[in-house]
Structure formats: structure tokens, C-alpha cells
Structure 1
Amino acid sequence: MELITGQRFKRTSKYIRAVIILTGLAVLLVFLLFASLVLFSKVLGAPPLAVPQSTLFYSDDGEVIGENDNGQKRYWVNLADISPALIDATIAVEDRQFYTHNGFDLKRIAGAVVADIRAMSKVQGASTITQQYARNLYLGHDKTWNRKFNEAFYTIRLETNYSKKEILEGYLNTIYYGHGAYGIQAASQYYFGKDAKDLTVSEASMLAGIPKGPSSYSPFLYMEHAKKRQKVVLLAMANEGMIPEKMVNKEIGRQLVFNRGHKTSDRKAAPYFQDAVKQALKTQLHLDESTVEMGGLKVYTTLDTKEQEIAEKTFSDVITETSEIQAALVAMNPKTGEVKALVGGRDYELTPYNRAIQAIRQPGSTIKPLLYYAALEKGFTPSSTLKSELTTFSYDNGKSSYTPHNFNHQYADSEITMAQAIALSDNVYAVKTHLFLGEKALIDTVRRFGLETKMAHVPSLALGTSGVRVIEMVNAYSMLANGGKEVKPVFIKKVENHKGEVIFEQQTENKQILDPAPAYVMTQMLTGIFDKKLNGYTKVTGSSIASQLTRKYAGKSGTTETDSWMIGYTPQLVTGVWAGYDNPKNIAVPAEKRYAKDIWAQFMENSLEDKPEKKFKESKNVVGVYVNPENGKLATEYCPVKRLTYYVKGTEPTEVCTEHLAESKPHKKAPKKSENGTWYKRLLNLWGD
């Protein structure tokens, strides 16, 4: 008996030693496996923390005007910009040992296993904040062994390569709080209409309870469940010594004021402008589509929200609802090129086609200032005269001919000055000038003005028959307004990435492209379209809107059968307006022919209403003298009309007007023959270009 017992004891001892050895080997193996994973995670380096984040667009005064998201509204904020109450509430209810464990709470895991065994089902979770963060970043929520292994691996990688602060910040910025709000900043804005840093204890405890079950604990869906969950959070905070126990009932009973909505509007402001901004992000900054759409960028634009609102309101006020005509507007700061307002069509929801930057349309007579600038550089002056009469021009070595017509087929049948020709928009004068300079001269000049669209080498180019974009023309006029300096349309002032790092900041250069003297002379000539002193065989083309204007403007209108334009400026603002049909057809309704002018006048007046009136900066190489606008000669005291006109120094007139020397005093001139036409011809003058 004793022998048998001893053998059994030896056998039992052997089994025990075997179990101990095997257990030790297993522990060692687990330790080695864990150490290998840690070492491997170190070798692999930090896993990327990139998550889809809303890209926000700001106006020039810092107001949010829109955002891009993929259905997940998420705005990344630093841990320092999150309420300490929210941080405490989250740690208390989600992971009390967060600051002490290495990614896994073994005690909590063991407790969860026991609880699950007792209930014969999974009733208690044991995931730490790091594990949840790993799941949110890289994995789905399927319950497979492969997913659990990957979750554990990514948890180790996060803990090995990032600090607790970085992990907590990332978690709070990625966790789902329901109703499309991802991250605490989006949740704070949606539920309470405030930033995460401003959350109170009661608000923080309500939000901290939602991630456990966003659809079950939403106060907008189940307030009773949400309040019970809030109490659990507050009790957890009290147990951890984060708040006094007496605060629990006080905070539970506190009345919460909900917001239910994000700060960013569902209808984004200035949608055509924002499309242009996105295009600029891709073409100028070379950002890919995913970064633009979901990269968490903060894009600070040039948009002036007041001017944008004025532009959109003016469109609706001027254009009748029944009209099918389209229109576009671009307003720029001529010194910097910053686009302050942009309207690409009457209704973005109906058609996002951006006519301000995409459509190529005939500019009509708005091309003439560029032609006459080239003429000024070649020796022409505002007093240069050419005969305005019906003329047929031969070109292409006599193989082709071209006969331009003035509006309403009216001509002076005598010589007129360049200053009067541009004010009356005389087409014959323009074509004569174009052919005198040579067809290549205008094309070379428009390239200097920044126009890139294809131009035809034909006489009619002087009348704007080759298409251009609205934004190109506004940019070209900006160079006249700023004294000839290079300028390009600017939509973006600064861009920050999701970390708050500045990745782009606009730099303005002041490269001189045009001669400032003829540029100033050209500007002064363009003020003539509103000045009745330049009336001749017809009225100046700005006469129909001159009564609406309260300050000095330079500008030019343009009209073709299918397109209506008005572009004009002050030293502070240059604006171009186009109106026409998307599928080009004749603009037959007289009121529609006036849309571009009326929109321009109302927009400029309202936009500049509270701004000081500034004078165009005079170049040192110009001189102003009074001339008789009919012949461009120096005016005398006997001339009935005299107008201050500017010239490049050395080109001003020296010949004195002698037409009125015999008269003792001025008297009204007899109307020209062309002005004695029928009443309907005089009425049609109001809609000339």
C-alpha cells in the first residue's frame, strides 16, 4: 500500500512539474510574442492617424461659409480646446485606468469574461479607449477573431508610438456621437451650439454617455434613456473623485438647452464661389480630390459676405423671374486680385455651371479699352481723330471684306476723337484703329492683360467677336484700375491642414506690366461713358445708368446680338457683369439688354455705399488740359463745352479751338442732323452699348 501511494505521489509530482513547466513556457511564449509585437510595432513606426475630416471654408472676415464632408461632420480640435469636464467624464465612464495601462486593462478584461460566463452571453465590454480608437481608425465593428487580433495589434502600435495625450485627443475627435456628428467638436456644435471647450459638467456628462449607444442614448430620440446614462457618467466621475458626490443630483436636475444643428448651414453660401475655390485648391495648390473634400482643411478665402449678398440680391431684384436669361458677376480688388464676390448663374441648384469662370462669350465693345491702350502706346491720344462713316474694309490681301456697323446704323459722317469714340462706342473708329496698328497688336496686348482664350486675326476682333471669360475681362480691367501692375484672380488667402499648420499663404507681387501713364489716360477716357459732355451723333453709352451713380467710375459696356456686358471700376473695386442665354440666341427684349448695366450700377453703388470715394492715382507722366470734346483741341473761354482730358506728357494738344472765337458768349449748339431722327430711334439709344 505504501509503495503504491509513493508511486502515485511521484506520478502526481511529475504532472505538477509538467504543468508548471508548460505554464511557464506558455507565459514565456506569450511574453516573447508580446515583446515581438511591441518590437515589430516599433520597427513599423507610428500608424497613420488620418481620418475623414470636414474641410471648412471661411470668408475674409472669418465667417464659416461652407464645408465639405462625406456625411461625417468632424472638426478636429486640440486636447487643450476640449472642456476638462468632458475629458474627465469620458475617462470615468469609458476607461478609468487609461493613464496607467498599456492599451489593455487586464483586470477589466477578466471581469468582463466572468460576467459574460455568468450571463451565458456577451453583456459587458472591456475595450479601452486605445482599443476603441484603433477600431475607429482602422477596423470595422464585425465580431471575428481576425478583427480582434488586428485591433490588439493596432492598439499596441498606438500605445508604442503615441503619447496618452495624442491617443486621447484622437479618440475624442473620432468617436461617433450620433446624428452624423463625429468627434466632440461636431457633437458640441450639434447638440448645444457651442465649441467643445465651452461645455459645462452637465453638458459634458450628457455627451460622454452617448458613444456607448448613439441611437439609444440620444436626448433627441430617448431623453429618459439619455438622462439615466448621464447619471451613470456623473456617478463614475464622483467615484473617481473628479466631482463632489453632492454635484451628481444637482447636475442631473440641471435644465439643458439643446441646439440641434451645426454652425455650418446646410445651404452653403456663395456656391459658385466655393466651386472656384475648390478648383483653385486643385490647380494652384495641387491638392488631390480626397484632401480637398475630406482632409480637414481650413480654407480662408477672399469672399466679402456683404458684397456677395448684395450681388445675389441684385440679380433677383433686376432679372424678372419669368426671364430665361442667365447672368454672371465677378467683383475684384484691383490692387490684390482678391475676388470679393462671384455669381456664376441665377440658381446653383438648377445648374452649377459657373458662367463667371467657365463660359466663353463674345465681349463686344468691352474689348475696346485694351485696343485703345495699345493705340496710346503707339502714339494715339484722346484727341486723335478718325472719320466715323459707313466703311467697308478689305483684308486678307483683298480676298475678304468687312463692313462694321454702329448701333442703330448711326454715324457722325465726320471726324471724331478717340475720347468721344470710346464714350459713344463707335465701331468704325475701333476697326480703323485696329487695322492701322496691325491685327497682331491687339492680340499681343490682350495677352499682356492676361487674356488666354484664342483670338482670331480678323478686323472684327476690335469689336469683341472672339470669346473670353468674365473673370479674364475683370482681371484685365483691374490692371487699368491699379496703374498697370500685374494681377491675377485670387480666391484663397491661406490654407491650414488638419493639424493647424499653414500649408499655403497668398503672396502679392507688384510687377509693372503696363505703362502707368497710358493706363491712367485710358482710365480717364473710360469715365467718359457717363459724361454727357461727350454726347455727339448719339448719347454716351452709360447715359441710361448715369443718374444712378453717385461717384466717379470708369467703365465700358459691350453688346453683341447674343451677349450683354458691363465692366467698370473705382480704385477700390472692379466689377464685370455678363448677361445672355446659355445656348446663344439673340437678346430681343429691350429690358434684358439692360440687365448687365443695371446689375453693375446697383451692385457698385450698394457695395461702395459706406466706403470713402477715392480718386484714381495720377501718373507722374501725364498732364490734364481742358479741350473741346468735339475736336480735341484746346478749349477757349468761348467754347460752349470744355472737358478736362488727360494725356501722356508731350502728347497733349497744342492747337487752340477757333470754332467759337467770333462768338461773344456761349450759346446752345444746334442739334446734329443725326439727333433729329424719329422718336423711336432716340429711345433705342438708351440701349446702345
Structure 2
Amino acid sequence: MKEDYKRRAGSKAGKKKGETKKKLSRKSIIKRIIVLTVLIGLIFLVLGSMLFAYYASQAPAFSEEKLRDPVPAQIYDRNDELVTTVYQGQKRESVAIEDVPDSVVDAVLAVEDHRFYEHGAIDFWRLAQAVVGNVFNGFGSEGASTITQQVVKRTFLTEETTIERKAQEAYLAYRLEQEYSKDEILEMYLNKIYYSDGIYGIRTASLYYFDKELDDLNLMEAAYLAGLPQLPNRYNLYVDENRGEDRAYIVLRLMNEHERITPEQYEEAQNLDVYANLVDRSDEDRASTEPDDPEYASYINFIKNEISSHDSFTNADISELMASGIEIYTNMDAGIQRNLQNLTDDRDYYYNPKFQSDDFDIASTILDTQTGELIAISGGRDYQEVVDHNQALVPRNVGSTMKPFMSYGPAIEELEWRTDQRIQDEYSYSPEGLDHISIYNYDMQNHGQVTIREALSRSYNIPAVKAYEIVKDEAGNDAPREFAEGIGFDYSTIGEGDYEVSFNDVLGGRDSMFTPLQMAEAYSALGNNGEYNEAHAVRHVVTGEGDLVEFEHDSDQVMADYTAYMLTDILKDTFEPYGSADYIRMDGLNIAAKTGTTSYTRELREEQNLPDNAAKDAWIVGYTPEYTMSVWTGFTATRDGGETSFVGTDEHITPQWFFRDIMQSISTYNGQDFEQPDSVLRLNNGELAVQGSEDFEEYSQEGSGTTGGGNGGSDDGDNGGNTWNWSWGTGGNDEDNGQAPENDPPQEEAVEDTPVTEDPVTEEEVNEVPVREEPAEESGSESEGTNQDEGSNDEGNETAPDESSPEEGSDGNESEGNTDEPTEEAEDDAA
């Protein structure tokens, strides 16, 4: 009994003790949580302080000179020689804070930083509001930068939204407030801010927009200037008057809400017209704010684009960056750049008055063939960045310059054709599945069986379309498109991404619209053994803080070296008799090239009373082992009677003379030729074959032999060449001893007007593809003729379905649309 009692008593005591421990453990847990939370907070505080201190130590040097005045960008050429100094915009008219009227100060503070004189470097109340707003409305929906922060950001930092940049901004803002008064900081801000059109500083902006000193501005004008810097190019009254006016009303409302004006002043200001005193400025007047050295303007425009897309500067305002003391080391050859732009601008160079007019324009690009380095670029005649599109970067229909990439290149790449591969030409031809459409060669001739050397260098249309269709049949439906896209011609961005390439694209019509820069990039790959480089201008940048930013560029092998070399060998014949550029001589240069032209729609031709052989664009793209050059010429308006069109032989070849004169002036004439790769064998007849290809084996079995050197050409014997009839695959050997077919008109006749059929044709050097459509049983897709153009591009102008073409008075800054025009039957179908 006694033992049982002790046992029970002990059990009760143990139970009470356990309960006490349980109660104590709950309190202990809460205490531990609090202590742990405090410790974690302290750890984060210490780590955050250390991280902040580290970021602050990496902040750019604090410079009073930069705070007061911008430092212009310096541009260096490929030899590290200083070419030009870029002063952003007009000369700045600084203003002392005591000379800024209260109305202007109130407008700026109302929209930018209402509590500027009350808070320190950072407005923590506004920051808290912004955090809450970003939580509920999405990140970035509200900002909290003070005017002090904006000054240091514009002076020392970039637009990045990283923690590091925010920490450095806070640190530098604190330093700024320690060393300068609020009035001094506001003065810095008002003299630094950007107001579009190359205008910096509020006094400069007041004089530029309203021709007034700040004291003379009315409330509406003051509100407009205060609101402009947030999105200067969008709120610019010369660009979009509605947005600018709406922005001014917002600033007035904020001034009223913050009691910086009375309700009566607010109502009165709303009735003022912001345009009443706006200075009337044409685009040319606005461009007068451009910096000196206009011959470099096109190159500088490209530099800005390239820098803006670099990872280190994607969030930077390029205008601010160019005023931050940046040093830019480029690939520019300053002498070539000056010569290119000066010849472009020289109206006396052009013998024909229509090419001296303001309606005519020309754009070109020069690359290093081996590296893709941008040697020189011209964005157009008298190019000015403020008001002009850089025409070297504007897409245009490219005419027959697409034939190497949509037709013969894929044929050599995928089917390993020899350069004397034969195709049966015809007088007219209906593309596969489009029996109601007929295309023609530029000279309305059937040339019989022709080699691809002859067909490409002379720019026949029917063989090009047949080669394209053979490739699709034997190498796959997507083979031509994939080849073209590999070399930079991206069709996936057209429409909704479901664009289907057609025979029109072989001839550079329809939506084959690319820039002079892209054409130079593509052709330089042909001269570089199939290795593709995107054009690049910048080698490296030294920021205002002394940081070195390298610009790296990759090369891609986009085609076999045999494809590039064999196309190049063919394109050398462009300058030979019967070639599409045989009107100019390139003596002493190993050079290959392709020409192209585009024409108007029939509707526009009839509306503007244009000649049947009128063309709206003319191209040439060519290359040596040293340089690649693309030239586009065209008109920015369409006027009656062909006043602003290429009409006749001497006009169609205008870009060819320009190309010749520039290329001959810049080339070193060092005898360098394109190096024949081991994958290519030159046959005894001078033609080329792919090592190990089926065609080569057949040739070898015939005992024709090979040779390792010598130039190919259509004038050499081309025994053993396979002939492709339109039934495909009916190969056979046909000898023509390299001579042109009997019905191939001699060169002297080529310059005469070609015979006019029901659908008129242009002259030979335009190489327009006349297209006639037979009535279809029912209207079909675009490719069936709903917007088929008759003679769209060059050497045999192709068809391009879009009927859009330049309207009279067009500014030329938009692409012209498709190059070919619908036939009468096509128009009926479309109707």
C-alpha cells in the first residue's frame, strides 16, 4: 500500500512538472521567435549595409564639372584617330535659379517633385507610396525619384533598374545634398534636362519652342515645358500636337491640386492656346540643331542604334549617354565615309536634272567583306538625323538581287549544281500551279537551254523561277526560304509569322523587302566563303567613368564554302558582255555584283501617266575580297509622266555609275582575288563543280578532266552540262560551245525598247519580268494573281503581289510596298 501511494504520488508530481515544462516551452518559443527575428533583421541590416557600402564604393567619381556642364561624346575611327566630337543639340542657354520665375518653378515641382524643399535626398513618404502602388498596380507603375536623384542619375549613372544602380543613386544623391543647396540642385536640373530636338535646358527650350525668355511664358507654356522632359520625343508639339497639349493640361491640374496656382488661374490657363506662340518650324529648321560634320551623321546614327542595343546600355537614354563624356572607338574609315556622303550630296555629280531634284535619294553601305565591319554608310542625300530616316536602314523591295539567295544559291547548296547546269528557258512560263499567270524575261525572248551562269549574270527570270521550283521539289519545300533566312532575310516576321515564300520572292517582289545594310551583309557572306557577319560599327566604348565596354561579334557559317565561291564566280560575269551591269567597267578589280530594279503597279502607272518601262527603285550590290557595297536609288514622290522615275537605259543604271566610282576610289588594287576552296574543282571548260558531287563524277567519267585554276565564264566551252527541262530530271548533255543562243539579242540591241505586248515591258537593263495572267476559273490566293505585279524588279522584273506603291507626295520614309503590278486579269480577279 505504501509503495503504491508513493508510486501514485510520484506520478502526480511528474505530471505537474511536465505541465510546467510545457507551459514554459510555449513562452520560450515565442521569445525565441522574437529573438530570432531580431537577429535575422540585424543580420540583414548588417549585410544590407555592407552591400550598400560596397555598391557606394563602386559609384562613379563625384565631379562638379559634370554636374554643371555636359561632356560631349568623342568618335574615333578604325585607326584610333579622333574623327568628330558630338555636341548634343543646340548651344545651351543656362539660367541662374534666381532668374527662373515662380510660375516655372511651381510647374516643374508640381509634376516632378512636389515636396522637393521639404525632404532630404530621398523622399521616404513618396517612396512608401510608390512601394504600395507597385504592389497593387504592378512593378514600375509608380516612381519615387526626387529631383536630386534625377540629377545624379542623369549625370553619373544609367537608366538601369538594378539594386546596385539604386544604391549608388541614393549614395550620390545624399552626397549632392550635403554639398549643394536645394536651389543649386534645382538649377542643375533645369539646365540639364532634355527637351527633344537636341534641346537641353529649360531656357534653351523656351527660346526654341516659343521664342520667349522664361519671364514671358504664360502658364500654359510653362506647364508644357515642365511636362515635356518625361517623354520628350513623344510630347514634342512638332511631332504629335495632341499628346503635348494633353501633357500640359495634366501639369496644370497638378499645379492646382498642390495649390501652386489658384482655381481662377487654373481655369484661365486651361483656356490658353499652347500653339498660339509656338515657333513655326519646318523639318529642315528642326534639323538645324544637328551637330557639325554632317558627313558623319549617318554613321553616328548607326552607332547610337548599336550602343542602345548593347547589354550594358539597354536602359540608358542615348541622348544623355552621348552627353556623358563617352568615347566611342569605331570601324569607320573616315576618308571613305566623307567621300561617300559628299558624293551622295553632290547634285552636280548627276547629269540628269531629275537626279538633282529633292525627290531623288540614294543610300549605301560599305562593309569589310571579311569581317562585317561597317566602313561607311550614307542614310540619304543631305542626311540629318533629327528629321530623316536613315535610308540605309529602311526596307525596300530588292528586285533581282534576291535571285542568288532564293534560287541559285539553294540549288548549288542542296543539289550541288555545277555552274554550267542547264535550264530550259522559254518565251513565257506559268509558275507551278498558277496556269493563269505568265512571266517573261526582260527582253521577251526565249534563250533556249541556258547555263545558270548565263541565267544569273544576265538576270533571266524564267530560269530563276524554274531553279527555285526544282529546289523545292528535290530538296524540300522550305529549302529556298531556309537558305535565305540563314543569311539574314527573315520571313518569319512578316504578317502573323505564317508567310509563304513564292516565286514572287525569287524576283524580289511581294514582301521581299530588305535594307541596303541587310543586302550588304548578305553579299559579303558570298565573298567570305559563306561566313556571315552582322554589320558592326563599334569596337569598344570608354564611359565617362573610364570603364571599358567591349563590343563582341560572332560569325556564322551559313552556307557551304563551295556555294559562296561558285555564286561569286558567276556574279563576276555581271560586268562582262551581256551581263546586267556590262555598261560599266571595273578594270583591275576582282569583283562580283548583282543588279535589281522595281517597277510600279499598273494602276499607279495609268493614274500618273507613267511610261511602261518606268522603274521606282534601282539597286546594285557588289563585293571584292576587300569591300562589299550596296547602293539603293529611288524617288520619294511619284509625279506624272515619269518626272520622278527611272526611264530608259541611262537612268536605270544610275546606281551602277555611283557604285563604280566609289568602289574604284576606295579599293587598293592589290590583286587580291577570292580564294577557291578545296571543295570546288574547276573543269577544263572553265566551269565549276562541287568536289565529289554526282554531276562532277558524271563529268569525270566522260573524260573531260578538271583543272585547279582559271576563270570560269559562259564564253568557255561547257560540254557535259546537265540540262533541266521543265519536266524536271530529263538530264542530258547539250553542247553550245559557250555561245549565246541564236535568239539571244546582241548587246547593241539590248538597249533598244523591248517589244510591247498586251502588258508593256521595260527595257533590257531593267530586266523587268513582264507578267500576264490568263483568266482564272475562280479567284484564288494572292499568288494566284489577286495582287500580282507585272514587271516588278530588275533584270527581269519580278512580280510582287502588293499593289501599293509610292503615292505622289510620299515622304519616302516608308517602304514602297511590293514592286510588281497586277495584270488586268489579276485586277479583275481581285475585284
TM-score band by shorter chain is: 0.5 to 0.7
* Equivalent residue for 2:458, pick from 410, 424, 427: 424
Q: 1:676 to 1:594 in 2, by over 3 A?
A: closer
Q: What secondary structure, in the 3-state scheme, does the structure 1 residue paired with 2:439 have? A: coil
Q: Which residue of 1 aligns with 2:425?
A: 388
What's the offset of the Cα at 1:677? Answer: 10
Cα shift at 1:43: 13
Contact 2:520–2:621 under 8 Å retained in 1: yes
Is 1:624 the equivalent of 2:689? no
Cα distance between partner residues in 2 of 1:672 and 1:652: 18
| One-letter code aligned to 1:383 | D
Q: 1:354 aligns with which of 376, 390, 415?
A: 390
Task: Report if the CA contact (8 A) 1:336-1:508 is conserved.
Answer: no
Letter in structure 2 aligned against 1:442: P
CA distance in 1, matches of 2:383, 2:545: 32
User: Structure 1 residues 59 and 449, CA, compared in 2 at 3 Å: closer, same or farther?
Assistant: same
Please give the alpha-carbon distance, in whole angstroms, between the structure 1 residues aligned to 2:536 and 2:679: 30
Residues 680 and 474 of structure 1, relative CA distance in 2, 3 Å threshold: closer
- Matching residue of 1:69: 88
Preserved CA contact (<8 Å) 2:400 2:508: yes
> Which residue, 387, 401, 406 being the options, matches 2:441?
406
Give the CA deviation at 1:443.
1.5
Structure-2 residue corresponding to 1:59: 77
Alignment match, 1:254: none
State the 1:65 CA deviation.
2.5
Contact conserved, 1:365 with 1:556, CA < 8 A, in 2? yes
Instruction: Report the 3-state secondary structure (helix = DSSP H, G, I; strand = E; otherwise coil) of the residue aligned with 2:745.
Output: helix
Alpha carbons 2:72, 2:85 under 8 Å: kept: no
Based on CA coordinates, which of the two structures has the bigger radius of gyration? Answer: 1
CA distance in 2, matches of 1:433, 1:551: 30
1:511 match: 556
Asked if the contact 2:530–2:563 (Cα under 8 Å) also holds between the matched residues in 1, the reply is: no
Structure 1-normalised TM-score? 0.57
Query: Counterpart amino acid of 1:570?
Result: T
Structure 2 residue corresponding to 1:581, chosen from 630, 635, 640: 635
Q: Is the Cα–Cα contact under 8 Å of residues 392 and 401 in structure 1 kept in the other structure?
A: no
Q: State the shift of 1:48 in Å.
A: 5.1
Structure 2 residue aligned with 1:288: 317
Amino acid at match of 1:587: F
- Provide the secondary structure at the position in 2 that maps to 1:511: strand
Deviation at 1:480? 0.8
**What is the aligned partner in structure 2 of residue 499 from structure 1?**
545
Residue 512 of structure 1 and its aligned partner are, at CA, apart by: 2.3
State the partner residue of 1:329. 364
Shift of 1:508: 4.1
Task: After superposition, give the CA deviation of every residue in 1:606-660 in whole Å (9 maximum; x if it has no partner).
Answer: 011x45221112211111123288xx999999xxxx984399xxx9958999969
Q: Tell me the amino acid that sits aligned with residue 566 of structure 1.
A: I
Does residue 545 (structure 1) correspond to residue 577 (structure 2)? The answer is: no
Aligned residue number for residue 527 of structure 2:
481
Name structure 1 gaps, 5 residues minimum: 1-41, 75-135, 139-152, 160-173, 175-181, 183-263, 533-538, 662-667
The structural deviation recorded for 1:425 is 0.5
Shift of 1:595: 1.5
Q: Deviations over 1:471-494 (max 9, x none)?
A: 111101111111111311101111
Unmatched runs of 5 consecutive residues or more in structure 2: 1-52, 94-150, 154-173, 181-191, 193-199, 201-289, 600-615, 639-643, 688-694, 723-731, 754-762, 768-794, 796-831
The structural deviation recorded for 1:437 is: 1.6
| Alignment correspondent of 1:314 | 343
Distance (whole Å) between structure 2 residues aligned to residue 470 and residue 677 of structure 1: 29
* Aligned equivalent of 2:398, options 363, 366, 373: 363
Report if the CA contact (8 A) 1:470-1:578 is conserved: yes
Match of residue 105 from structure 1 = none
**Count of equivalent residues:** 451
The CA deviation at 1:571 is 0.8
Contact 1:388 1:415 in 2 (8 A): yes
Alignment of 1:187-198 (within 5 A): none
Q: What root-mean-square deviation, in Å, do the aligned CA atoms of Structure 1 and Structure 2 show?
A: 4.5
Q: 1:510 to 1:673 in 2, by over 3 A?
A: closer
Correspondence 1:531 to 2:576: yes
Q: 1:510 to 1:653 in 2, by over 3 A?
A: farther
Matched, 1:645 2:712: yes
Pairwise CA distance, 1:299: 1.1
Per-residue Cα deviation, 1:451-507 (whole angstroms, up to 9, x for no partner): 2353652221111112111111110111111111131110111111012221x2233
- Match of 1:442, SS state, is helix
Alpha-carbon separation, structure 1, partners of 2:550 and 2:576? 42
Q: What corresponds to 1:596 in structure 2?
A: 655
TM-score under structure 2 normalisation?
0.48
Deviation at 1:429, TM superposition (A): 0.3
C-alpha distance after superposition, 1:308-347 (max 9, x if no partner): 1221243322474237221110000122211111111112
CA deviations over 1:9-56 (Å, ceiling 9, x no partner)? xxxxxxxxxxxxxxxxxxxxxxxxxxxxxxxxx999789545332122
Q: Partner of 1:77 in structure 2?
A: none
Closer/same/farther in 2, CA of residues 617 and 324 from structure 1, 3 Å limit:
same
| Cα separation, 1, equivalents of 2:734 and 2:563 | 28
Deviation track 1:104-146 (CA, whole Å, cap 9, x = no partner) reads xxxxxxxxxxxxxxxxxxxxxxxxxxxxxxxx999xxxxxxxx
| C-alpha distance 44-653 of structure 1, shift in aligned 2 (>3 A) | closer
Q: Describe the shift of the 1:468–1:556 C-alpha distance in structure 2 as closer, same or farther (beyond 3 A).
A: same
- Residue identity over aligned pairs, in percent, reads 20
- Shift in Å, 1:440: 2.7
The 1:276–1:670 alpha-carbon spacing in structure 2 relative to 1, beyond 3 Å, is closer
In 2, the alpha carbon distance for the partners of 1:419 and 1:676 equals 17
